[in-house]
Structure 1
């Protein structure tokens, strides 16, 4: 009997952007996870604090760490 694999993914809303702060370092860098659509699938990034705040504002993120 042939096997079928359901590879369909749930619908994604690419307008949703998420940020979870991992660490605010003493050297002024902010380590954080950023995701689009699915908060479970993220990349880790690091920016200086002022650039991080601008990044969040420009992407209209939803904060997951608060």
Structure 2
């Protein structure tokens, strides 16, 4: 993990954020010796989350299609 001083981090924050995204984490060391870790937050979501699909169907047509598929099953 690469460690930057507080002053360096303040001057190059965008670079540090990119580096944390690419490398996993970077450290920031204060003058008093304390070191902090900057790392990206993992995106949490359901495996069932899916993007929507654009269609030309109106609500009634969509409902009818679902109804028909349920009758077949």
Instruction: Pick the structure with greater CA Rg.
Output: 2
- Fold-level match, TM-score > 0.5? no
